[in-house]
Amino acid sequence: MTAAARALAAPLARASELPGAAFLLAALAAGFALASPEFLSPRNLSNIALQSAALIIVSLGMTLVILTEGIDLSVGAVLGLCGVVMSLLLVSHGVSLPLAIAAAVLVGVAAGMGNGALVAYAGMPPFIVTLGVYGITQSLAMVLTAGNSVTGLPPAVRWFNEGLWLGVPVPLLALGALFAVTWVLLYRTRFGRYVFAIGGNRRALELAGVPVRAWLVAVYAYAGLLAALASFITTSRMNAAHPTIAIGLEFDAIAAVILGGTSFEKGNGGIWGTLVGALAVAVLRNGLNLVGLSTEWQVAVVGLVIVSAVALDALRGRA
Amino acid sequence: MIAAVQRLPAEVAFVVFTRTAFVAALVTLLAVASPHFLTTDNMVIVLRQAALQFLMSAGLTLVVLTGGIDLSIGAVLGLAACLGAGFIAQGMVVTGILLALGAGLACGLVNGALVAYVGIPAFIATYGMLWVAHGLGYVFMKGEVIHGFPAAFRTLGAGFVGSIPVPVLIGAALLLVLHVVLHLTRFGRALYAIGGNALAARLTGMPVKRHLVTVYALSGVLAALAGLVVIARVNAADSGTGEELLLTAIAAVCLGGTSLFGGAGGIVGTAIGSVILALVVNGMNMLSIATFWQAFAMGVIVILAVLADVSFKRRMS
């Protein structure tokens, strides 16, 4: 094989390893670009980027959880509670912004640690733990707000969504920074190697004397932390906090992770796939909006897409 | 082999003891807190609430016995109820009921096929179905509410035979049938075997995949039935019907002592779990605690019930 042929073959071989999400994303983008002239406009593209920032941030944490053969159904509710806590402290209690942020982060991490402790130390199934915590955090957010939105936030909060730093919108900066941090954690530290190993063969790791349980708690805590950080962007974007603002976000995040090629059972996958998967979900929602499909249909369509993606993944794994 | 997958006597004793203690504490507390609690009228209300709860949790119990889960029951309940409600409100009661049950059956069959034949983890397949059914319910209703059903249909949820509410009779009949199915039929015993050890069950020649599809289909149909009873009681249906019922349904199964890992438990436990939860909800209402707290209570109960069982099992082994 000549050098030129090899240079051509390498990217092709890599393309076949791309998760289905990359092809889905390309197909969706092409389809929507044809269906709606507005889709490729700079305004809409920046809209997609800003809209998907919170989703991608939450999906990063979900990727780590799923890599350990877990699931976190509570992230949407936790995100909602974090936003409510921060906003109530700011609006009703006159707390300073840094302190309110710290409190919200604390809530997110605490919820994540609760999830992790029950999964790791008590040995409970992750979906039941996180479903229970979903109920608890959702209920707390409703109780704290009596089911209403918290409005009248100080103008400084807007900065999380509208601010610019060196000409780049803050949500995208936050996304880039958190992606980089997660990348380093996952691919350059012991923590990351254990995340993959826990999903691949937890028993072997335990026999080797690794404190698997403590690392699992860290994984769920990190997912909770990311939900808290995403809540600042969401709250800022709406300029209000609502207890149910992010209910269903966990579903988009799970869809993003699975579309991105991370598997539930083998400890396979990674965050590049998740990035593409989350963009595919965001483009799907944005495009369905542009072509005039109601939110009701979107819920059903995204549900169908995720089930089909998992089904394909399962069938391909068997072949 | 059947004996091997049943609970050890000590485990049964543990489940019975913890639940009895919980109910005793709860009833004492509520009886002291409110003079209306221990009245016949209120007990009838509690039983009716428990029956509605049980209709939803009954199918789920069968699924959990096989080591699976059905997260879609709340959404399927809502979708089936909405589809049926359109016809029922126009007087076509039988068509509406058949349509609702058919929708539940269809959702359940898809769940079962995805789990048994495609091999998707049950919580993912049924979680996807949750959103598909939820979305379709929204699409169908377009945010509207269907209300005003014929009196004959309303009997299903709001009627009485003597002094016993109709839902209680439906629940009792279902309890009897499912108990007999679980313990006296080959299908019922197979569910325990599948939950105990699916591979072993397959090697002994059981049609594991077909049984799994049947179980998820039953879960869908029973969710639809629960949906019909719910809308008959409140005399209205909207796309949000059933949304909050999932966590409570799982709580009833866990409280009833059916193991989330499959292979152990039973339908009688779920009936008792449903009564306990109805007492909790009724008590919260009696004490005028805001309904916002109910999801909190359900979350805590689910976690505590599973936590207690898991840690007890660990100590035993």
- pLDDT, one tens digit per residue, over A236-247 is 999 999 998 888
Among A124, A133, A307, beta carbon nearest to B125: A307
Task: Give the largest CA-CA distance in chain A.
Answer: 71
Q: What is the pLDDT of residue A156?
A: 87
Query: In Å, how far from its chain's centre is CA B90?
Result: 29
CB contact under 8 A, A124 and B307: yes
pLDDT tens readout for residues A154-201: 998 888 888 888 888 889 999 999 999 999 999 999 999 999 989 888
pLDDT along chain B (317 residues), means of 10: 51 80 86 86 90 92 95 94 93 94 97 92 88 88 87 90 92 96 93 89 89 96 95 88 84 89 89 91 87 89 88 78
Q: Which residues of B touch A120 (CB under 8 A)?
A: none
CB atoms within 10 A of CB B20: 12
Is B139 within 8 Å of A143 when comparing Cβ atoms?
no
**In contact, B56 and B77? CB cutoff 8 Å:** yes
pLDDT band at A141; cut points 50, 70, 90:
very high
Is the distance from CB of B100 to CB of B84 less than 8 angstroms?
yes
Whole-number pLDDT of residue A304: 83
Q: Report the C-alpha gap between A28 and A4 in whole angstroms.
A: 32
Alpha-carbon span B81 to B97, nearest angstrom? 9
**Under 8 Å between Cβ of B316 and B9:** no
Q: Between vectors from CA A295 to CA A290 and to CA A296, what angle results, nearest 5°?
A: 140
The single-letter DSSP state of residue A156 is: G
Q: pLDDT value at position A9? A: 58
What residues contact residue A169 under an 8 Å CB cut-off, 6+ apart?
Answer: A46, A49, A50, A161, A162, A163
- Contact across the interface for B292 and A314, Cβ inside 8 Å: no
ipTM of the complex: 0.84
Backbone region of residue A154 per phi and psi (left: phi > 0; alpha: psi in -120 to 50; beta: other values) = beta
| Spacing of C-alpha B315 from chain mean position | 29
Q: Establish if A111 touches chain B: CB-CB under 8 angstroms.
A: no
List, in sequence order, every residue forming a beta bridge with A164; answer none if it has no partner: A169
- Interface contact flag, B293 A143, Cβ < 8 Å: yes
Query: Which residues of chain A have a CB within 8 Å of the CB of B299?
Result: 131-136, 139
CA–CA distance, A48 with B28 (Å, rounded to integer): 56
Strands (DSSP E) along B193-299, which ranges? 236-237
Kindly state whether A315 is in contact with chain B, defined as any CB-CB distance less than 8 angstroms. Answer: yes
Q: How wide is the angle at C-alpha A68 spanned by C-alphas A260 and B124, nearest 5°?
A: 60
Residue with tokens 């428990």: B50
Q: With a CB-CB cutoff of 8 Å, which residues 159-218 of chain A face chain B? A: none
* Per-residue model confidence (pLDDT) at position B2: 43
Alpha-carbon distance of B163 to B155, in angstroms, equals 13
Length of chain A as a residue count: 319
Q: How does residue A269 score in pLDDT terms, banded at 50, 70 and 90? A: confident
How far apart (Å, rounded) are the C-alpha atoms in residues B301 and B307?
10
A18 C-beta neighbours (distance < 10 Å), count:
15
DSSP of B139-159? HHHTT--EE---HHHHHHHH-
| Distance from C-alpha of A299 to C-alpha of B107, rounded to nearest angstrom | 16
Residues of B in contact with A297 (CB under 8 A): 135, 139
What is the structure's pLDDT at A92? 92
Question: Which residue is associated with the tokens 């209402």?
Answer: B285
**Token output for B175:** 């309890």
Pairing outcome for strands B164-165 and B146-147: unpaired
Which residues lie below 8 Å from residue A54, measured CB to CB, with a gap of 6+? A79, A171, A230, A231, A233, A234, A237, A246, A249
Angstroms from B161 CA to nearest CA on chain A: 36
* Confidence category of residue A230, pLDDT binned at 50, 70, 90: very high
Look up residue B114 and give its DSSP letter: I
pLDDT of residue A24: 78
Where does the pLDDT of residue A16 fall: very low under 50, low under 70, confident under 90, or very high at 90 and above? very low
Cα first-last separation, chain B: 19
Taking all residues of chain A, what is their mean pLDDT, rounded to a whole number? 87
Spatial CA neighbour of B71 closest among A284, A66, A226, A134: A134
> Distance of CA A163 to CAs A154, A173, A242, Å?
14, 10, 22
C-alpha span between B217 and B228 (Å, rounded): 17
Q: Which residues contact A155 (CB under 8 A, 6 or more apart)?
A: none
Nearest residue to B234 via CA among B148, B164, B152: B148
**Count of pairs with CB atoms under 8 A, one residue in A, one in B:** 135
Q: Could you tell me whether strands A168-169 and A164-165 are parallel, antiparallel, or unpaired per DSSP bridges?
A: antiparallel
Cβ partners under 8 Å of residue B260, min gap 6: A125, A128, B64, B69, B254, B306
In chain A, positions 256-275, which contact chain B (CB-CB < 8 Å)?
258, 264-265
Residue A10, pLDDT above cutoff 60: no
pLDDT greater than 60 at residue A116: yes
Strands B160-161 and B146-147: what pairing? unpaired
Question: b/e for A263-300, b at 16 or more Cβ within 10 A?
Answer: bbeebebbbbbbbbbbbbbbbbbbbbbbeeeeebebbb
Q: Cβ A135–B298 below 8 Å, yes or no?
A: yes
Which of B120, B254, B302 is closest, CB to CB, to A311? Answer: B120
Smallest Cα distance from B106 to chain A, Å: 15
Which among B124, B138, B302 has CB closest to A264?
Answer: B124
Q: What is the DSSP letter of A241?
A: B
Residues of A in contact with B311 (CB under 8 A): 122
Is B160 in contact with B106 (CB distance < 8 Å)? no
What is the percent of chain A with per-residue pLDDT over 70, rounded to a whole number? Answer: 92
**pTM of the predicted model over 0.80:** yes
